[in-house]
Structure 1
Amino acid sequence: MSHGTLYIVSAPSGAGKTSLVHALLERIDAIQVSISHTTRAMRSGETDGVNYHFIDTATFEYMIERGDFFEHARVFDNYYGTSRPAVQALLAAGRDVILEIDWQGARQVREQMVDAVSVFILPPSRDVLQARLSQRGTDDAATIARRMRDAISEMAHFDEYDHVIINDDFDIALTQLIAVILAERCRLAHVRERQGPLIQRLLSHIEGVE
Structure 2
Amino acid sequence: MHRILVVEDTPAFAEALERNLTLEGHHVLLATRAAEAIARVTHESPDLVVLDLGLPDKDGYHVLRQMRERGNECPVLILSARSLESDKIEGFRLGADDYVTKPFSALELLARISALLRRARRGQPATPAASADVRALEDADLRDRYGLTDRQVTVARLIAEGCTNAEIATRLGLSFYTARNHAEQVMAKLGVSSRAAVGALMYEEA
Shorter-chain TM band: 0.3 to 0.5
TM-score (norm. length: structure 2): 0.41
From the two aligned structures, give the one with the greater strand fraction: 1
Rg larger in structure: 1
Higher relative contact order (CA 8 A, sep 6+): 1
Q: Which has the higher helix share?
A: 2
